[in-house]
Amino acid sequence: MPVKALESFGPIGSGQGRTDPIWIGDDLSGNSFDKSVYVIDRHRADDIDKVLIPEGLIADRTAKLAYDLKAVYGEEELHMICLLKGSRPFYNTLISTMQKIYAADPTQTVSRYSFFEHFVRVQSYSGTESGDLTVTGMSELEELRGKHVVIVEDIIDTGKTLTQFCVYLEQYGAASVRTVSLLEKRKEGRVFSGDFVGFSIPDVFVVGCGLDYNDFGRQYGHVCVVSQHGVKKYAK
């Protein structure tokens, strides 16, 4: 069934029609937090420069994204696809909040939640939009035919793989494909803008909330900027 609220959005990846994300400026001295006022693993404190987004603000912003999704899709059957593995913490928080919203909504007429969960890994083997794409973890993509699909990402970097994946899903006849991402990096050459985005951040190395830098920092609840010491230490 068409969702009227989606008519205000532009083509997938354009970012047109979306509510603007919270903008974190390029000057980190005035747009970040001193790591000393947060709990950071003391054994790796030198690997972190600053706290960019505190855990509490992440939780609040994720809740607002969940409300925005409910406002757009209402009671429509919604298929939420988590891109493993970095997106899992953000995805879990988003889904948990959506469950509470659906349960508390007095206007809800269906007796079940109107969304379904899927988990996939996506890899692109070239640096281009037309390269080979490998998708694992979801064998029955035909079940998405005629359904509304939302891809859940932790961060949109260049967006090239995400562009490919959206085209891939549309080939299976999804009624609509949209994206929600905790972060969107202002990176030169980015080709994709999300539809529901928590924060727009500068082009810096960040870890935490599922994000990692060569397997470092995924466990932090805050989104943190990696120090130059950390960049060199964990470089591969």
| Alpha carbon separation from 123 to 61, 157, 188 (Å, rounded) | 28, 14, 21
Q: Which helix (H) or strand (E) segment is 178 a member of?
A: strand 176-185
Catalytic residue flag (residue 157): yes
Distance CA 52, CA 223 (A): 6
Residues contacting residue 235 through CB under 8 Å, at least 6 positions apart: 214
CA torsion angle 236 132 141 5 (round to 10): 80
Distance CA 145, CA 230 (A): 45
Distance CA 58, CA 109 (A): 30
Exposure pattern of 5-41 as b/e (b: 16+ CB <10 Å)?
ebeebeebbebeebeebeebeeebeeebbebeebebe
Exposure pattern of 58-74 as b/e (b: 16+ CB <10 Å)?
beebbbebbebbbebbb
Distance CA 80, CA 119 (A): 8
Instruction: Name the catalytic one among 41, 157, 203, 215.
Output: 157
Q: Catalogue the active-site residues.
A: 157
